[in-house]
């Protein structure tokens, strides 16, 4: 086999690029070449920049495709891969503003909250709440930034991780905080926030952060955990809007990969991972091309990897069944609006409009929005996360025009009526909700597109269109992500590894699954 020293990365999203770069640095000197095969014509996957509007990219609008706020890219990756040298620009730091209809907006930073009508107690509680929860997030860090430890047949690395976790929980937090963490760790954010705050707007905004991207409402158990997952990013860097959109971030990752010697091919769709006698022998592309290799790292979600690319006939039946039973239906739609002129919000400056804006007026609103998703309907009153990146980034469109990027929850993948029927209805509903906060916005819209989970699935090759490649429920996290038996990046198939959001610690533009997968492969190759 001429190419036995080729490593194939399936999927050029951010985790795939990160993993490829680490592998090229680690195994390049041993004579391995690393190839990234991306099915789309553009690298980055869901972390890319896309065009919409009549003239497409010429005179039209450009916007971050799925992920639009950078808040958790692992700083260790930045250092290890020298991303600054590769042109990474995180962009301006932004805060979160929860919109009120009458100008009573709340501004939430990592440490403080301000806004009309907030009580002094709530303002103080917010600071101590964030402090406490950041310390919980920090205590979980050994778990979130390491390979998830096995609980059976532990090796040294597993023991170290568990020891670090135990140490961080007991001595990092201290006895009282640890007890409180153990109390809230498995419960829902609704109860916790009711204990902490009076302001409905404040509770709504925090609750939204706990459930955006998940098939969960504030009352769903384990939403404290999803909130802590989100806070991981706050431990090291502010949330930012990357100039040129999220595609620029993955372009920098691709540049770092190229510098490390990685070959990146776009428009190269892998249709099959070839297996003989339980071991990887290569990949087949839709062009008919075959690449021989003994090592394939899949950045695709677990269902795509195992059920489509590998196929059940080469897997144990119960393993395949467990993969099939993972919950991977997305619940988020993305609305992109091309606007003539900048929309106005009562009592907000242009600078404020450039922040991350939330429409989540209270926890009941968020819970009701979620209720619809349980029954295969989109929310009557959706929870929205809005950015206007063109305010700080003129490259996204022409003078006098603006781009609005809206994450809309909840939009269940398996919509009862089907998305062909529902797409425009839901888009209209979001626009009409926006109109209540941005008066006159409807008349400013010159272009719009709605990416439903079905569209995200089709366009970005993610089963169910799920942002996290599968729910971050506690039963699909840590040593059970995506399922036990494949939770340490290696899989039952010899030579096949997972490196994407389907693996621990899950989704978000973190790069951590990619880094940990590479570390695992390098450790096994020694």
Partner 1 sequence: MVEKDHFRQVLQHSPFHDRIEEHNLIKNWMSWNGYQTARVLDTLSAEYFAIRSGCSVMDLTPMEKYRITGPDSLAFLNRLVARDLSKLKPNRVTYVVWCNDDGKVLDDGTIFHLGDAGYRLCSQHHQLDWLLISSQGFDVEIAEETHEVAALAVQGPTSCAVLRAAGIDGLDQLKPFGIQYTQLLGFEVMVSRTGYTGDLGYEVWTEPRHAVDLWDAIFATKHRGLYDVRVIGLDALEMVRIEAGFIMPGDDFITAETAVRADHDRSPFELGVGWTVNLDKPYFTGKGALIKEKSSAIKRRLVKLVVEGNKPPVDSFLYDAMKGKRIGTIKSQTWSPILKANLAMADIDYINGKAPREIWAEIYYQKELTWHATWARTTVSEKPFWSHPRKSATPPGPY
Span of 11-19, 285-293, 318-326, 464-472 interacting with partner 1 by CB under 8 A:
318-326
Identity of the residue, 175 or 317, whose beta carbon is nearer to partner 1 in the bound complex = 317
Q: Which of 61, 319, 419, 438 binds partner 1 (CB under 8 A)?
A: 319
Burial tier of 304 (Cβ tally within 10 Å: 0-12, 13-18, 19+)? buried
Q: Does the footprint of partner 1 cover residue 274 (CB under 8 A)? A: no
Residue from 158, 314, 362, 519 in contact with partner 1 (CB under 8 A) = 314
Choose, by CB under 8 A, the member of 7, 70, 173, 315 that binds partner 1. Answer: 315
Q: Which stretch binds partner 1 (CB under 8 A): 83-91, 131-139, 315-323, 423-431?
A: 315-323
From the CA atom positions of the chain, what is the Rg in Å? 22
Q: Are 67 and 246 in contact (CB under 8 A)?
A: yes
Nearer to partner 1, 364 or 492 (CB): 492
To the nearest whole angstrom, how small is the minimum distance from the Cβ of residue 271 to partner 1? 15
107 φ/ψ angles, rounded to the nearest 5 degrees: -110, 120
Q: Which is nearer to partner 1, 84 or 318 (CB)?
A: 318
Cα 83 from Cα 88, distance rounded (Å): 5
Cα 337 to Cα 62, 97, 312, 451: the distances in Å are: 10, 20, 42, 12
Q: How many residues bind partner 1 (CB under 8 A)?
A: 17
Q: Is 295 a binder of partner 1 (CB under 8 A)?
A: no
Whole-angstrom Cα distance, residue 186 to residue 180? 11
Q: How far is the CB of 307 from partner 1 (least distance, A)?
A: 7
SS3 208: helix
Give the footprint of partner 1 on residues 453-492 (CB under 8 A). Answer: 485, 492
Contact by Cβ (8 Å): 56, 81: no
382 vs 464, beta carbon nearer partner 1: 464
Contact 310, 54 (CB under 8 A): no
Shortest reach from residue 277's CB to partner 1, in Å = 8
Among 134, 150, 157, 324, which residue sits at the site for partner 1 (rule: CB under 8 A)? Answer: 324
Nearest C-alpha neighbor of 44 from the set 518, 388, 511, 408 = 511
Q: Is 524 in the site for partner 1 (CB under 8 A)?
A: no
307 binds partner 1 (CB under 8 A): yes
Name which of 112 and 154 has its Cβ closer to partner 1: 154
321 near partner 1 (CB under 8 A): yes
Tokens representing 447? 């272009």
Pattern 485-514, binding to partner 1, x per CB under 8 A? x------x----------------------
**Is 209 one of the binding residues for partner 1 (CB under 8 A)?**
no
E-assigned strand segments in 247-359: 263-265, 270-276, 279-285, 290-292, 295-298, 332-340, 356-359
Judged by beta carbon, residue 320 or residue 359, the one nearer partner 1 is: 320
Q: Is 419 in the site for partner 1 (CB under 8 A)?
A: no
Q: Is 311 in the site for partner 1 (CB under 8 A)?
A: yes
Selected binder of partner 1 within 286, 289, 316, 420 (CB under 8 A): 316
Residue number, 150 or 236, with CB nearest to partner 1: 150
Sequence-ordered strand ranges (E) for 217-316: 263-265, 270-276, 279-285, 290-292, 295-298
Instruction: Determine if 320 is a binding residue for partner 1 (CB under 8 A).
Output: yes
Residue 154 or 425 having the CB closest to partner 1: 154
- Of 58, 37, 4, which is closest to residue 309 (Cα–Cα)? 37
**Alpha carbons 19 and 468: distance in angstroms, whole number:** 17
Give CA–CA dist 207/187, Å, rounded. Answer: 13
Min dist CB 102 to partner 1, Å, is: 54
User: Residue 520 contacts by C-beta under 8 Å, 6 or more apart in sequence?
Assistant: 147, 488, 489, 490, 497
> Is 99 in contact with 437 (CB distance < 8 Å)?
yes
By the criterion CB under 8 A, which residues form the site for partner 1? 275, 278, 307, 311-321, 324, 485, 492
């Amino acid at each position: 086999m001429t190419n036995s020293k080729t490593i194939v990365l399936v999927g050029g999203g951010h985790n795939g690029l990160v993993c490829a770069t680490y592998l090229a640095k680690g195994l390049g000197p041993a004579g391995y070449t690393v190839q990234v095969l991306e099915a789309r014509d553009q690298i980055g996957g869901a972390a890319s920049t896309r065009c919409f509007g009549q003239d497409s990219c010429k005179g039209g609008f450009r916007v971050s495709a799925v992920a639009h706020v950078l808040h958790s890219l692992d700083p260790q990756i930045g250092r290890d891969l020298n991303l600054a040298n590769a042109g990474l620009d995180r962009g301006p730091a932004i805060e979160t503003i929860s919109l009120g209809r009458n100008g009573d907006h709340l501004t939430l930073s990592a440490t403080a909250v301000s806004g009309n009508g907030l009580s002094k107690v709530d303002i103080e509680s917010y600071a101590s709440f964030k402090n406490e929860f950041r310390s919980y997030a920090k205590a979980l860090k050994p778990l979130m930034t390491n390979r998830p430890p096995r609980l059976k047949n532990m090796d040294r690395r597993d023991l170290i991780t568990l020891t670090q976790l135990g140490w961080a929980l007991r001595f990092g937090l201290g006895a009282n905080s640890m007890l409180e963490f153990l109390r809230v760790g498995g419960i829902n954010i609704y109860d916790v926030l009711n204990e902490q705050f009076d302001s409905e707007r404040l509770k709504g905004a925090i609750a939204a952060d706990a459930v955006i991207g998940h098939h969960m409402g504030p009352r769903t158990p384990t939403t404290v955990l999803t909130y802590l997952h989100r806070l991981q990013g706050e431990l090291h860097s502010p949330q930012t809007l990357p100039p040129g959109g999220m595609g620029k971030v993955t372009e920098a990752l691709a540049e770092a990969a190229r510098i490390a010697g990685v070959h990146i091919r776009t428009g190269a769709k892998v249709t099959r991972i070839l297996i003989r006698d339980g071991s990887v022998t290569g990949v087949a592309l839709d062009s008919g091309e075959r690449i021989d290799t003994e090592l394939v790292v899949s950045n695709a979600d677990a269902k795509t990897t195992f059920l489509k690319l590998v196929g059940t006939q080469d897997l144990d039946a119960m393993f395949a069944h467990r993969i099939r039973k993972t919950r991977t239906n997305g619940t988020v739609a993305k609305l992109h609006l091309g606007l003539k002129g900048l929309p106005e919000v009562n009592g907000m400056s242009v600078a404020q409009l450039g922040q991350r804006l939330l429409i989540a007026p209270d926890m009941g609103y968020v819970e009701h929005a979620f209720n619809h998703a349980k029954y295969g309907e989109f929310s009557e009153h959706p929870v929205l996360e809005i950015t206007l990146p063109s305010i700080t980034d003129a490259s996204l469109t022409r003078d006098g025009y603006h781009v609005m990027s809206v994450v809309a929850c909840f939009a269940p993948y398996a919509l009862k009526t089907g998305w062909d029927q529902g797409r425009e209805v839901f888009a209209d509903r979001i626009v009409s909700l926006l109109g209540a906060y941005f008066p006159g916005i409807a008349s400013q819209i010159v272009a719009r597109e709605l990416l439903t989970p079905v569209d995200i699935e089709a366009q970005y090759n993610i089963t169910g269109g799920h942002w996290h490649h599968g729910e971050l429920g506690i039963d699909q996290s840590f040593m059970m992500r995506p399922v036990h038996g494949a939770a340490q990046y290696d899989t039952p198939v010899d030579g096949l590894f997972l490196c994407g959001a389907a693996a621990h610690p899950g989704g978000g533009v973190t790069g951590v699954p990619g880094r940990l997968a590479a570390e695992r492969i390098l450790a096994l190759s020694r």
